[in-house]
Structure 1
């Protein structure tokens, strides 16, 4: 299996001739490292010295220490480099201002995405591209692998009325693109018009899971500790819009799920009757140390992905929610707003990007029939559009 060479490695080894003449900004976090675990900010500091003018931090902060959903970070000064770190996740705004961009000519973006529309780093990238276009700045995206594979797609497309920080662009939940391909997609489909360059990887294949890349894994956010977590996330993120614990406050976020009102064995039997592909379930008991049901004993299940190439995370988690609604209709509830700075829409609708998904679950519609409602636009419309922006 060929070694995967990251965008940052190619940029470091073959720096453009103009590099030392330009003011550089970097959007990154703790997972922005090369294969030796050297941070991209330090790679750039060695390349350009004081021309590295500013760092920009996505949700969770530049070091990835903050929890999710409206836990804001503030601006600070990098203690090593003495340059500003601008937070792009605050209560006031999540878009870089003209003042933040004034000293830079080029914004480099080096973020590890996890292949899911609701993961907020892609939104931050898109908003940065918009701001750069308005200010006449160039954007360069240093590409990284999609850890859950860049072949498969799944889920309904985002509806225009449900755009939010967890839904920047008309994508399915599992979009099957790398962060660099997403940048090209955003620039074209959202008509951003920024001067954009993507530094592609070498040796990367679309079917690769993260384990195939032979690269070190650094959790891109506090509750994505492993590539296994990333694999279930396109479905299990839906639980954030319910009163089910998605496993935050445990050692297996998104793999563990449950609530005090759940009967693990009953739920397991119901899910097993569905013959869901590529996954099995194990009965568990857990006590979340923070977030939903903190300090209370929850009964639930752990997802064990047995075949990542047939596993359908979005369909699987819809099945989980449907089984819970069927068995515990009085205890189950949709989470109330606010969610990611939206105060007037149900979080579940923001996450799925289509109110009809929730309504179908509430009405007990056949899940295959719900899936059929999005299959045509996914397989025909989206896939044809997506193809124009693929690099691998």
Structure 2
């Protein structure tokens, strides 16, 4: 009997042990993502290594004390690295992979919005329910119309941040003051990125679930996914690993929320307060890419993730957002320009960035404490450059098909957008379809419309003239009059517009601010607005890509025909996108329609489009010259030759008084990426120094993906100013630079990097403005 009992006890213990083992396996957290060979996930390691250069440049400029960067793709980590210092004061401490960061506004999607979506999934919240259903006092001042969706997409009309004095009491008192707020703008009339929206959402999570957003998100998402280093109010061990931000009450904030409103809400709020590490965020990002599941643990349904990341158009056409996520708005400059239209992400005030791209099966994490030690760092533009580099590193992306220009699309669609219209067409020799068919012939023969007159820009209708005053003419093929917009007038006259109801613009631009075709378009847009005419742009690709943006931003008040708007020298936009910007920022009341290209991606250069090259102007003869033009062309109003009058304009640069060998050596010593300089002699036949032998350089592009043409131009100026102070005359430099601070810095002997650093705030402002008008 004893033996039998002993046997039973042993058997029960064995069964219990097995059950415990199985239970432990079932409850065990999923493993973290592993670092893999980039090639195994379709990425180029050499391209990814360029992230080092971008970050080191940012560290040198003081953009941040340090950073951690991680790139994930196809379920693995292709790149992960820590840079610089996590702490500069009171003493230095190195940045490490496991540094804990104050995520700031990434709290909004990663904690609050994800929690809200879970409650919607469970049927405890309705996306289009009024907020007052859950917080009755919120209905004050007519706010009963505001819905959960409005808060998630920042269309509530509420103020961005209410007074810090509203948070002087208990959290309950603070929530009551938020509920009593009036509208800042009419409901759904304007996109206002608002912390108030997400503080309110955090409160709703607490009301509906019975747990604050900290406890709910931890129990529902972070713990099941094994994200043990993610949450509000980090414990002492995590605090020790945290990157400090600034001082509060003479003590460094380390593991203590930086945001003052979240701090007064006892560290837990819907808009800020979350802390995390790069490895934990990688798990979260992979869960989103997997449709709500990671490592066998499902925390959201696929349809919930889809709903959360579906684009919601914003009022006034000012971009799109997901539910809690940014997609394309003025806040998206940290996404770069080579992610797909399906990408969603967010940034945080402290210097944090997360972007997730389902189409590319990729995510990108950039974590810094850019506010340490003095709040003056800036990382959004830098993070955007890293994101663009990551996009370039993808090797297994689908090969793009042939690009259709706006004209190709118009013809394919049988001219439907112009049906019944009386047209005035602004074009030149670049107005051809992808099969070389002449645009004037196409529109003249189209029965759906009536082409009545033609307009020509600089260089004339055939693009062969290089003079400052071009007269009117006639198109011999059709007999139509050609009114010059580069002669006695640079805008269509009332007489030339007689009998028209539509102006169509179709000219190939090259992507530099001082190329005048977009100025011609802008003048014509103003004339169309004045006369009540429709304006249609047949868009074409930016040949030097629509991703890279560079150079001093034109100073307000210095607009000219060769500098029509406050753009950087290389703007990274198509003429269609510029038209949208001109209409909005010039306040034009205009019926504007953009017929988009199809198949073009922002990172594509012209040779990836399959489209035929036609010289846009007499001295723009190939893609290399177009790429060099924003930098080399910048200097051409000074006493140098940029190769006009030779067969290699903008690839040759020199003057009779230069020493070619010395000049080439000085330029090569600058170690500009993507370009080399070879000493040469050449003799222009026209333009500057006709029939005079010049010494100078042959500019050879070795890697266009690394080349920064405007930095090249700034380096030309630096070397000329330093080595040829008596020969080089800077008079005329301002004519195209149109930025006083940059001009003063260059004439004072500052380096190109100094000029770029001084321009960073203005360039960041432009990038933010630009986001709303991007259509590719």
Larger Rg: 2
Instruction: Choose which of 740, 747, 750 in structure 2 pairs with 1:362.
Output: 747
- For structure 1, the residue ranges without an aligned partner over 5 or more in a row are 336-346
What's the CA shift for 1:16?
A: 4.8
- Flag the 1:208–1:170 CA change in 2: closer, same or farther, 3 A: same
Q: Indicate if the aligned counterparts of 1:162 and 1:350 stay in contact, CA closer than 8 A.
A: no
Aligned length: 377
Rounded to whole Å, the distance in 1 between the matches of 2:416 and 2:754 is: 55
RMSD of equivalent CA atoms: 1.4
The answer to whether residue 464 in structure 2 is matched with residue 80 in structure 1 is no
Aligned to 2:403: 4
Deviates more, 1:195-204 or 1:32-41: 32-41
Deviates more, 1:23-32 or 1:158-167: 158-167
Q: Indicate if the aligned counterparts of 1:156 and 1:374 stay in contact, CA closer than 8 A.
A: yes
**Matched ranges for 1:270-289 at <5 A:** 270-289=666-685
Aligned to 1:62: 461
TM-score, with length taken from structure 2? 0.48
What's the CA shift for 1:253?
A: 0.4
What's the CA shift for 1:73?
A: 1.1
- The superposition leaves residues 274-319 of structure 1 with CA deviations (integer Å, 9 ceiling, x where unpaired) of 1111111111110000011000000000111111111111111111
**Aligned partner of residue 361 in structure 1, secondary structure:** helix
**Matched ranges for 1:230-269 at <5 A:** 230-269=626-665
What's the CA shift for 1:350?
A: 2.5
TM-score, with length taken from structure 1? 0.93
Rounded to whole Å, the distance in 2 between the matches of 1:302 and 1:153 is: 25
Q: Indicate if the aligned counterparts of 2:457 and 2:484 stay in contact, CA closer than 8 A.
A: yes
Instruction: Choose which of 489, 494, 498 in structure 2 pairs with 1:93.
Output: 489
Rounded to whole Å, the distance in 1 between the matches of 2:483 and 2:446 is: 21
Instruction: Choose which of 51, 66, 73 in structure 1 pairs with 2:450.
Output: 51
What's the CA shift for 1:193?
A: 2.2
Deviates more, 1:355-364 or 1:51-60: 355-364
Could you list the structure 1 runs, at least 4 aligned residues long, displaced by more than 3 angstroms after superposition.
15-20
Q: Indicate if the aligned counterparts of 2:546 and 2:603 stay in contact, CA closer than 8 A.
A: yes
Rounded to whole Å, the distance in 2 between the matches of 1:306 and 1:61 is: 34
Rounded to whole Å, the distance in 1 between the matches of 2:541 and 2:715 is: 29
What's the CA shift for 1:49?
A: 7.9
The answer to whether residue 728 in structure 2 is matched with residue 332 in structure 1 is yes
Instruction: Choose which of 203, 209, 228 in structure 1 pairs with 2:599.
Output: 203
Rounded to whole Å, the distance in 2 between the matches of 1:201 and 1:358 is: 37
Name which structure has the greater RCO, CA cutoff 8 Å, separation 6+: 1
- For structure 2, the residue ranges without an aligned partner over 5 or more in a row are 1-399
Rounded to whole Å, the distance in 2 between the matches of 1:138 and 1:314 is: 36
**Matched ranges for 1:1-392 at <5 A:** 1-17=400-416, 19-48=418-447, 51-67=450-466, 70=468, 72-90=469-487, 92-335=488-731, 347-379=732-764, 381-392=765-776
What's the CA shift for 1:15?
A: 3.2
Deviates more, 1:120-129 or 1:95-104: 95-104
Rounded to whole Å, the distance in 2 between the matches of 1:60 and 1:366 is: 35
Rounded to whole Å, the distance in 2 between the matches of 1:240 and 1:273 is: 23
**Aligned partner of residue 99 in structure 1, secondary structure:** coil
- Flag the 1:199–1:268 CA change in 2: closer, same or farther, 3 A: same
What's the CA shift for 1:373?
A: 0.9
**Aligned partner of residue 495 in structure 2, secondary structure:** helix
Deviates more, 1:364-373 or 1:56-65: 364-373
Rounded to whole Å, the distance in 2 between the matches of 1:377 and 1:18 is: 38
Q: Indicate if the aligned counterparts of 2:718 and 2:751 stay in contact, CA closer than 8 A.
A: no
What's the CA shift for 1:237?
A: 1.0
